[in-house]
Amino acid sequence: MKINIRKVFPFILIAIVSFSSGAILILTNEDNPITKEIVTNAEKIFGIQFNEAQQDSMLGMLNDRLHSYQSIRKIDLPNSIPPAILFNPIPENFKAPKGKSSFVESDYSKTKMPKDMNELAFYSVGQIAHLIKTRQVTSVQLTKFYIDRLKKYGPELHCVITLTEDLAMKEAKEADKEIAAGKYRGILQGIPFGVKDLLNSKGYKTTWGAAPYKDQMIDEDATVIKKLKEAGAVLVAKLSMGELAMDDVWFGGLTRNPWDTTQGSSGSSAGSAAAVSAGLVPFAIGTETWGSIVSPSTRCGDTGLRPSYGRVSRHGAMALSWSMDKIGPICRDVEDCAIVFKYIYGPDGVDQTLYNFPFNYSPKINLRGMRIGYLVDDFNHKYSFRANDSLTIEEMKKLGAVLVPIKLPNLPVNDISFILDAEAGAAFDVITRNGKVDLLARQGKDNWPNIFRASRFIPAVEYVNANRVRYLLIQEMEKMFDENKIDVYLAPSDEGDNSLVTNLTGHPLVVVPNGFHNGVHPTSITFVGRLFEEGKILAIAKAYQDATGYQLKHPEMFK
């Protein structure tokens, strides 16, 4: 079958005028037909030039396409509808993980119920699970305990959008009933958790942290929530997020950092990170497109897992960038991330981007002689976390690892970062055209309203070519791992291009606390691994975490 490439990837050119209300008036070709002068002006935006004859030849096609665009806009395309073009993160000659999944957890049998129940606020998932399983505490007691903390501290941190108290108490009672009857579902049964408020939850609003959607009801559970409920976990809160997944400001204000409430908690998984850090939930679910798990986990002193692209279903989650969005847990420690990930990864029959590869985790790993890379140029820069990061490298050497200096591929990754803008512009095209972007709290040049509008001027050809460069980046990353004979490397959490590179390629990482800046603000280090090898990264990160103990430090004002 012959395919008309011009129709598949149309060159988008359209005249627009903004109303004072912020809505966009679309001019039809009858109102104001595209002329050679308009084409000449558009060429300046796109950095190309055609001669007069070429321009004249295009006019009929460009005017005809306006009809197509208007026809497309008449179709209801909610945020949940993905494009039929799926991103593939897998490099050439990729050796996929094989075999069955395996999971070995640490021994929590010595965990005892504390005399002061307030100490439970900072117990790990594994510790709490043992208390529930041995019936030293009930899920109802725990759920009420955490809901009380959410009510007490949530307003101070601006980290809660919706408490799901009625649902939580119902689920907690059911968990206790099952456990008493000898039906133990597993380590998450009866344990409260929170989710970033871009995940749909049946019976509750899903606000996306943004005023245009603050009353939005999507009456279904996201796959992640379904899987956690099937494991017996108890949803207690929908937590704040930067509006439409940017930063830490939402329609209710600025989400605060529990270590320093004069600061924001960073974003966009702002509420998830703040709530875990302050002991308001044992674990929470966050998402990342470009730094939204790593950054708030760093700011709040949490441990976060950003899984490989294609690991966790995004069904029922707000789409920002279909080819970059990822869902992962934010927890107290590395093994908690492994435990939660065990229950949320894998195909669901709906999200077509998922891969069915095994997940293997064991806390026992010998680092002696293991080759671990580190981004030598980034670590040599002068930045605020450098001293702590240098100590991390030395600690890894003490644990027996062989540190190998490496460099990221030499490709213009910042120049293709507009891939995110193009997809975000499509995801929120409706509120851009109807002017409701004006309801967003942030209206600066670097904020969503302006980005969405500017995304209209990204040519489809450039978007496709940027993704071709991205393909090269995927191949070069695989070469970097192979040629240096490493499976994991260390990267500064907030320095250099690693965050952008690995979000474009879909590689997994674990971010863990590694000290404090000026004795007050948490810092972190990032462990990055090969695609779909979360188990290895988690085990290595746990070895470092167990040796240093920074995960055991918590903000004093919330103890």
Model pLDDT for residues 144-181, shown as the tens digit of each residue: 999 999 999 999 999 999 999 999 999 999 999 999 99
Nearest to 303 by CA among 261, 278, 332, 281: 332
- CATH dotted code for 102-354+363-411+470-554: 3.90.1300.10
**Extents of the domains making up the chain:** 1-75, 102-354+363-411+470-554
What residues are annotated to the active site?
196, 268, 292
Taking residues 454-464, report their average pLDDT.
96
Going through 272-370 in order, the beta strands assigned E by DSSP cover: 284-288, 303-306, 326-331, 360-361
Nearest to 345 by CA among 124, 532, 75, 99: 532
Q: What is the dihedral of CA 468, 472, 477, 480, to 10 degrees?
A: -170
Class of residue 76 by CB neighbours under 10 A (exposed 0-12, middle 13-18, buried 19+) = exposed
For residue 143, pLDDT over 60 is answered with yes
Contact call for residues 501 and 495 (beta carbons, < 8 A): no
Q: Distance between CA 539 and CA 548 in Å, rounded?
A: 14
What local confidence, expressed as pLDDT, does residue 506 receive? Answer: 98
Q: Which two tokens stand for residue 107?
A: 């021994």
Contact call for residues 337 and 295 (beta carbons, < 8 A): no
List CB contacts of 30: < 8 A, sequence separation 6 or more.
none
HEC per residue, 472-486: HHHHHHHHHHHHCCC
Neighbours of 46 (CB within 10 A): 14
Q: How confident is the model at residue 32 (pLDDT cuts 50, 70, 90)?
A: confident
Element (H, E) at 390: helix 386-398
As a whole number, the mean pLDDT across the chain is 94
What local confidence, expressed as pLDDT, does residue 18 receive? Answer: 43
Tens of pLDDT, residues 209-235: 999 999 999 999 999 999 999 999 999
DSSP per residue over 270-299, as a string? HHHHHHHHTTSSS-EEEEESSSTTHHHHHH
Contact call for residues 338 and 361 (beta carbons, < 8 A): yes
Amino acid found at 172: A
Tens of pLDDT, residues 359-397: 999 999 999 999 999 999 999 999 999 999 999 999 999
What local confidence, expressed as pLDDT, does residue 140 receive? Answer: 98
pLDDT above 70 coverage of the chain, percent = 95
What local confidence, expressed as pLDDT, does residue 21 receive? Answer: 55
For residue 20, pLDDT over 70 is answered with no
Q: What is the pTM assigned to this prediction? A: 0.94
Q: Distance between CA 294 and CA 539 in Å, rounded?
A: 18
Sign of CA dihedral 354, 360, 365, 369: negative
What local confidence, expressed as pLDDT, does residue 30 receive? Answer: 62
pLDDT above 90 coverage of the chain, percent = 93
